[in-house]
Amino acid sequence: MQVHFQASQILLESLYDRYSENAKRLIPLIRQDSTLSSFDRFNKRFKISWGMEVKFTDSLSITREDTRACYMLMLKISDLWFAFEHLTNTACDVIPKDEDQKSKANFYSRDTLTSLEFDPITSNFNELLKSQVLHRAVWRREIYPFIQYLVNNTKGGTKSLISDALIHIKNLRQLEAKHIFALAYGIRNIYVHEGVAAALGSKNYKVKRAFYLVLYDVLILYSLALGDAYCCKKLKADSILIKEG
Q: 164-178, pLDDT tens digit by residue? A: 999 999 999 999 999
Give the pLDDT band (50/70/90) at residue 131: very high
**Model confidence at 49: pLDDT above 50:** yes
Query: What is the average pLDDT value for the chain, to the nearest integer?
Result: 89
- Predicted structure pTM score: 0.92
Q: What pLDDT digit, counting tens, does each position of 63-115 carry? A: 677 888 888 899 999 999 999 999 999 999 999 998 666 788 899 999 999 99
Is 3 part of any domain? no
**Inside any domain, residue 77:** yes
Amino acid at 23: A
Q: Is the dihedral of CA 150, 156, 157, 160 positive or negative?
A: positive
| Residue 80 amino acid letter | L
In a domain, 4, yes or no: no
140: closest CA among 149, 152, 130? 130
What DSSP character marks residue 60? S
In a domain, 1, yes or no: no
- Specify the long-range contacts of residues 165-174, CB closer than 8 Å, at least 24 apart: 169/129, 169/134, 169/143, 169/144, 170/144, 172/134, 174/122, 174/123, 174/126
- Domain boundaries, position 223: 11-244
Residue 210 backbone phi and psi in degrees, to 5:
-60, -45
CA distance 82 to 29: 24
Indicate the SS3 state at residue 148. helix
Q: Into how many domains does the chain fold?
A: 1
